[in-house]
Structure 1
Amino acid sequence: MGRQTRSNDWGFPRWRAYGSERVAQQVRPCDREGCDEPGDRPAPKSPNRPDRWYFCERHAAEYNKGWDYFAGLSKEEAEARAAGEQRDAGAYGQAKFYGWGGEGDGTRSRDEMRALDVLGVEVDASFDEIKAAYRRLAKANHPDVAPDDADAATRFQAITSAYEVLSKAEERRAAS
């Protein structure tokens, strides 16, 4: 028999593992002078150009430590770029609670949902309704109103902490 003319990669099953070619893999070295580690982490050469440096992990961290995204831009250009970045990334901020797939319309976190359950209000309740429910429950469960009830203090603490969670969430929504 003569020399084999077909490779072992034809047909089924493959007789050789994937990625076991005989040709040496090309590995791009780190672009830092004197470094011989693989350069597998791209870093931009300038803000408005597609050119990239390729560094190893250590040199990429060193390069990015002093990186200023807004370097060379005027104040108006920097503000416009920041507003564009905020606009483009805003959808991620709005969707941060959708991953849990809980009740409601996806605008409340898991902690807020628990707090709403403690106060006994609906998921879509306004903050005025939440405040009214808090005041009603706080008056009914305050330790001074029911001094002989041992569970009243525990219920009052739960109601107060639930209201704190919801009021902080309302402040965050009002600020953004």
Structure 2
Amino acid sequence: MVRQTRSDNWGFPSWRGYGKSRETVKVRICDRHGCTAPGICPAPKSPNSPERWMFCQDHAAEYNRGWDYFEGLSAEEAAERERQERATAAGYTTSKHQQWAVRGDEGRSADEMRALDVFDLAPDCSFEDVRKAWRALAKETHPDVCPNDPAAAKRFHAGQTAFEVLRQAEERRSWKG
């Protein structure tokens, strides 16, 4: 028996049998009676069972069409289960970097909420409301209007900072679409 010491495979696919293997590939057929399509979608045979049906995409859609997640639960139990699952999925519902969803306060950050408190505005106000509130505050507390009042100067500076925070947030929202 002669032992080969060198390989003819230099790393080029055209020099070796690229994709020409004759090994059998195991394909599971759809478990729906009479279907010959490959079964690529697993579906549970029963609740809490590790056994799975394997359906093609068409029959998997048909299998799931009548599925009711809350079947067999009373209205109170269904509401409690939904509440628990929403509580544990909070990271998905308020993911800020993906903008998947927003909270009831229109997705404003803590900094924006503090800035709105400076103007005594509601969380769902528009940027035009912010602009109007800033102008009114500036007319009342501007250093030219109240030259020797340190409290007015402090309030003016707080309003200026709050307006800048809200302006930048509005620009970010308009850039994202």
Question: What is the TM-score with the length of structure 1 in the denominator?
Answer: 0.49
Larger Rg: 2
